[in-house]
Structure 1
Amino acid sequence: MSKDFTMKQVTIVVPKGIATNLSSITGSFEILTSANEYWQKIGNKPMIEVRIAGFMTELKLDAGFFSIYPVNIKEIKKTDLLIIPSLSSDHDNVIKENAALITWIMEQYKSGAEIASICTGAFLLAAAGILEGKTCSTHWNAATDFRRLFPNVHLQIDKLITVEEGIYTNGGAYSFLNLILFLVEKYFDRDTAIFCSKIFQIDIERSSQSAFFIFQTQKNHGDELICQAQTYIEENLSEKISFEELASKLAISRRNFDRRFIKATGNTPVEYLQRVKVEVAKRTLEKGRKSIFEVMNEVGYSDDKAFREVFKKITGLSPLDYRVKYNKKAVLV
């Protein structure tokens, strides 16, 4: 079925500051322009026009080795698709530096533009107020900072891509390639997306970043009692932990213990215990030659079915598949 022709305007924005990630700008530009060239090669009119725009005339990145010369964003009155690249750390400062860009992003969304944020580009999207009450993804390593700044956004770091009301977000680092393929399929068609996946050698069916997640024990929350509980959990992984007894030891009711634990860590005590266990299991599977059974016992599981289910729920892979993927010396058991 042929598509009705309408030239779409795509704008890749360039935030101020050295925190901007160059690869997510150039990668997005290259894949989208390649898709457009292929689309024309098979007999169609150009589908999109891609521009890189910002509030500055030049931005030097990566110790000055690279420079970007964006077009003046003030000259762009309307765009159909707006892409926000990935940012590095120091998110508070990046948001302050880009107040004008955040306002422009909000205005474009109100005017009907769709918006895609790459990795930590979600911070600018959320700062524009567009994600309030909505679901989004970002890099798992930035999750704590994101939740601190935007508590009313439903962050789902296991998701590689989220879609909601003309808003598209994705997980971390080079997973943005999958987001761009998703956009190619949406704006062109499936065949063009498959062509790009083959040319750029991107796994088009990847849907989760769970296997890449490194669980970090959140202890900078300021609740000393919960810090004690976290330490107890981490030091007694092989034991059967009763949270009723732990709460009693800490002289707090179970209900208040759960409430404070969730507020401090973003996880229930049970979820936290599971994530710590799985993180230790992952590291053992990556580095050692122990059997799945040995690893399971070391982190306090006696039921191999329960261990496999929890492991797969958190990582997206079975323990065996995880070991095969990340341990070159792995042997089948």
Structure 2
Amino acid sequence: MKHLTILVPDVQTANSTIACIVGAYQVFTGANDYRVRQGKRPLFKIETAGVAPEAAFINGLLTIRPQVDLASLDKTDLVLVPSLNPAFEQAVKGNIQLVDWLTRQYKNGAEIASMCTGAFMVAATGLLAKRNCSIHWNAADHFRSLYPEVHLKTEQVITDEQGIYTNGGGYSFLNLLLYLVEKYYDRETAIYCSKIFQIDIDRQVQSSFTIFTGQKTHGDELVKEAQLYLEANFRDKVSVAALSKRFSAGRRNFDRRFVKATGNTPLEYLQRVKIESAKKALETTRKTIQEVMYEVGYADVKAFREVFRKITGLSPLDYKNKYNKEAAGKV
């Protein structure tokens, strides 16, 4: 029988930490139960593990007592790391022990899966350096500032690379759990868990959930001024050459600084600002796709649709139908 460890951190936790722990325990227990009903042995021995006798969550409203002390757990096969406080700064106190233990287990052959902002803890081990990683879009800028060597893929729900799994934000950790059930058990068991827990299976992207606000905590005042200018004038025709000239910077140097500060090229940033405005119009008004397109500064329907789909993962019409029930179907 394989061993599954669900970590129970006791510092830098969030309200969602407990949801990840309980959800993971429930889904994998359900997968084991389904396997038993088929006349097979459970695949995993499932245990929660921590460094403290108990961990308090939601201002002490709930507590969890780990079943196993981490120091006594020498070998495991799969480790699930729950979400943490998105203001995570570094591994501290008990989390240092968790990070050290994670590193040892991975070197000993265990696989590691982080749920949402649990990626902060996995990144603190150094194991994610130069590897792909997904995380909640709202924590992406802070994550990049701490771990610039990690290849962040915020559009993806799940990444799977060399025995390390990560996933996007919120309750998309449930999609990661189904992915792991299919990988360790089989497709049939994953479908069963999908149905019994009513979780959409095979969800691949989280782009349509992203709210673009623009990273402005980078400290580069020239870039910040350029961002504010783009956000105020995105409906007009703005060329990157004219933008760099406006802020008295050479084009190549301007592009380099902009990418370093925001994670986007100036053109990508402008596109994201336009599409964010378009999304809000599609969500809250009865304007047609073409009306919205012209309003945000596009004149070509094909180009607008391509950029919209690239950023959100949906066509403008599909997005409208998903988020604006009143206007659904009005093209």
The TM-score bracket by the shorter chain reads: over 0.9
CA–CA distance in structure 1, aligned partners of residues 270 and 92 of structure 2: 37
Kindly provide the CA deviation profile for residues 235-290 of structure 1, in whole angstroms up to 9, marking residues without a partner as x. 11111111111111211110001000001101000110111111111111111111
For the Cα contact (< 8 Å) 1:18–1:60, is it kept in 2? no
Equivalent-residue separation in structure 2 for 1:259 and 1:59 (angstroms): 45
* 1:84-128: CA deviation from partner (whole Å, max 9, x where unpaired): 0011222015x2231111000000000100000000000000000
- Aligned partner of residue 83 in structure 2, secondary structure: coil
2:10 pairs with 1:24: no
Instruction: Name the SS for the 2:238 alignment partner.
Output: coil
2:58 corresponds, among 62, 73, 83, to 62
TM superposition outliers: structure 1 runs of 4+ over 2 Å: none
Which residue number in structure 2 is paired with residue 4 of structure 1? none
Listed as ranges, the gaps of 5+ residues in structure 1 are 1-6
Structure 2 residue 8 is the aligned partner of structure 1 residue 14: yes
Match of 1:46 among 42, 46, 49: 42
**In the aligned structure 2, how far is the partner of 1:245 from the partner of 1:162?**
38
Q: 2:106 aligns with which of 94, 106, 109?
A: 109
SS in 2 for 1:96: coil
Q: CA deviation at 1:66?
A: 1.2
Structure 2: how far apart are the matches of 1:202 and 1:300? Answer: 38
Q: What is the CA–CA distance in structure 1 between the aligned matches of 2:262 and 2:41, rounded to whole Å?
A: 52
Q: Alignment partner for residue 249 of structure 1, among 222, 246, 251?
A: 246
Given residue 8 of structure 1, which amino acid in structure 2 is its aligned partner? K
3-state DSSP of counterpart to 1:83 = strand
Q: Please state if 1:178 is matched with 2:172.
A: no
Q: Cα deviations across residues 117-165 of structure 1 (Å, max 9, x unaligned)?
A: 0000000000001101111101110001110000100000001000000
**How many Å separate the matches in 2 of 1:218 and 1:65?**
34
Give identity over the alignment, percent.
56
CA distance in structure 1 between the partners assigned to 2:155 and 2:312 by the alignment: 8
Q: Which amino acid aligns with 2:135?
A: T
Structure-2 residue corresponding to 1:73: 70
RMSD: 1.0
Unaligned regions of 5+ residues in structure 2, if any?
none
| In structure 2, distance between residues paired with 1:96 and 1:255 | 40
Post-superposition shift, 1:69? 0.3
> In 1, distance between residues paired with 2:62 and 2:128?
32
1:300 matched residue in structure 2: 297
**Partner residue in 2 for 1:311:** 308
Structure 1 residue 18 displacement after superposition: 5.6
The amino acid of 1:179's aligned partner reads L
Candidates 216, 219, 222, aligned match of 1:222: 219
Instruction: Quote the residue 1:231 is aligned against.
Output: 228
CA–CA separation in structure 2 for the residues paired with 1:302 and 1:163: 39
Q: Work out the number of aligned pairs and report it.
A: 326
**CA distance in 1: counterparts of 2:80 and 2:194, whole angstroms:** 19
How far apart are residue 187 of structure 1 and its match?
Answer: 1.0
For residue 47 of structure 1, what is the amino acid of its counterpart?
L
The answer on 1:322 being equivalent to 2:319 is yes
CA distance in 1, matches of 2:59, 2:285: 38
Counterpart of 1:92 in 2: which secondary structure? coil
Q: Deviations over 1:288-327 (max 9, x none)?
A: 1111111111110000100000000110001111011011
| TM-score, length of structure 2 as denominator length | 0.97
* Residue from 163, 167, 179 that aligns with 2:164: 167
CA distance, structure 1, for counterparts of residue 71 and residue 97 of structure 2: 10
Taking the aligned partners of 1:259 and 1:113, their CA distance within structure 2 comes to 39
